[in-house]
Amino acid sequence: MREIGHFIGGNHVAGTSGRTADVFNPATGEVQAKVSLASVSELRSAVENAKAAQPQWAATNPQRRARVFFKFVELLNKHMDELAELLSREHGKTVEDSKGDIVRGLEVCEFVCGIPHLQKGEFTEGAGPAIDMYSMRQPVGVGAGITPFNFPAMIPMWMFAPAIACGNAFILKPSERDPSVPLRLAELMIEAGLPAGILNVVNGDKAAVDAILTDPDIGAVTFVGSTPIARYVYGTAAMNGKRAQCFGGAKNHMIIMPDADMDQAVNALMGAGYGSAGERCMAISVAVPVGEETANLLVEKLAPKIESLRIGPYTDDKADMGPVVTKEAHARINGLIDRGVEEGAKLVVDGRGFKLQGYEDGYFVGGTLFDHVTPEMDIYKTEIFGPVLSVVRAKNYEDALALPMKHEYGNGVAIYTRDGDAARDFASRVNIGMIGINVPIPVPLAYHSFGGWKASSFGDLNQHGTDSIKFWTKTKTITARWPSGIKDGAEFVMPTMK
């Protein structure tokens, strides 16, 4: 049985807590590895390594820090197939989907190659009599990231790339469900030239999370996961004097206007709703057709496509989607489908009971479609995080707009229309953080920022883009005046007021 430990101080180290978790193959249900769950002392060892290494890394000029990421991007491309296979084996998603996971992280690494420019401060000559004023962006020190199972390559890179590029050291606590890729990324960072101790990977559960949140030497924490845990992490981090950015759940809507290209909208819903078995925080889980005619046509076109989804293990290169990640996730999704039937939604396509020959013990859920869902139903309010799409029929544009605006989550939303006025009005008014116009999963590129509103996000700075540079640095502002410009005598007014 393969045993997975930690990566501390530039080396793989075995766990010493005596506690482990099983790592499953989601396609077969078999245990493929045991991952160590860190104790407080193991987490502290990583922090001490990071704290010792960070000052010299911060003193390294930014162009040399950038060179590490240039090399790391080169290594990511070189090892793409290996990383994707490793990711799919533990997560269950298709290999092509895993490559997309890696590439979206790689793009943030490309973005931070511009750190010499991104980390520049500001300068004002003559802010007052013989006074110059300037600012510097300096690293926080030691930061930490807590990542979910659904993007074991992308989200760790979204976190550690800007943090490290800014001169910080970093502690990564990945999901214990698929821990191998984060460890491999740490190896590649060392190969790219990163000093030992700057990136540490500590596997663990709540004990490791709480140790991160209370450790006095960790200055900033970033998190992605469910909203209840995001609230807990944000609140606990703040109480312990840390800056935090925490990203929670989602219930992403797609509005389909009567003038939309229906074939385009249906294809978008198929990819956005069922790709990666719906285990994406930006998945579309609610379709909102405007008008009965639009709704009837949408369901008519969707149903046969969902029924023909090719579902299989990651080794099937023709599969559209794979299994969900765990037995518990499988049971939860099926339970929510049961609940939708109990609540009176019309089950158009039923994914329960899906079995794949030769993989009968795998965690497969078939594509599922509900129609006539209402906002009072649990399947509408809850983030299902599985291959389940709900159709909520709206009488008109205003009713459609009101649905995402009233929902507690505010991560992403999309509208499909040919009407520029409607699209512009929608983008201006809807209270959601990321908006797609004829784009189903509006994840911004690396040089813009990613983040939702309402219960989907806690903290005032988002992931990647320039927000990430602000989050991982502290601004220091200097006001300087040299002796030749100083007159005798005390001054009792602000110098800039003269």
Residues with catalytic function: 281
- H/E element, 205: none
- Cα separation, 433 vs 104, in Å, equals 19
User: Strand, helix or coil at 29?
Assistant: coil
- CB neighbour class for 17 (10 Å; exposed up to 12, middle 13-18, buried from 19): middle
- Contact status, residue 341 vs residue 368, Cβ threshold 8 Å: no
Edge-to-edge order in the sheet of strand 346-349: 346-349, 368-371, 388-391, 284-289, 252-256, 412-416, 434-437
DSSP class of residue 290? B
CA dihedral over 78, 80, 85, 91, signed as positive or negative: positive
In sequence order, which ranges of 60-214 are alpha helices (DSSP H)?
62-78, 80-91, 95-111, 115-118, 154-165, 180-191, 206-214
- Contact status, residue 438 vs residue 103, Cβ threshold 8 Å: no
- Cα separation, 212 vs 200, in Å, equals 13
- Cα separation, 436 vs 442, in Å, equals 5
- CB neighbour class for 109 (10 Å; exposed up to 12, middle 13-18, buried from 19): buried
- Contact status, residue 259 vs residue 417, Cβ threshold 8 Å: yes
Token output for 53 = 């290494």
- Contact status, residue 146 vs residue 237, Cβ threshold 8 Å: no
CA atoms within 13 A on the CB side of 28: 12
- Cα separation, 464 vs 282, in Å, equals 16
- Cα separation, 315 vs 326, in Å, equals 18
- Contact status, residue 194 vs residue 70, Cβ threshold 8 Å: no
- Cα separation, 452 vs 421, in Å, equals 24
- Cα separation, 137 vs 140, in Å, equals 9
Cα–Cα separations (whole angstroms), residue 270 to 262, 287, 303: 12, 11, 10
Cα–Cα separations (whole angstroms), residue 480 to 103, 136, 474: 45, 13, 19
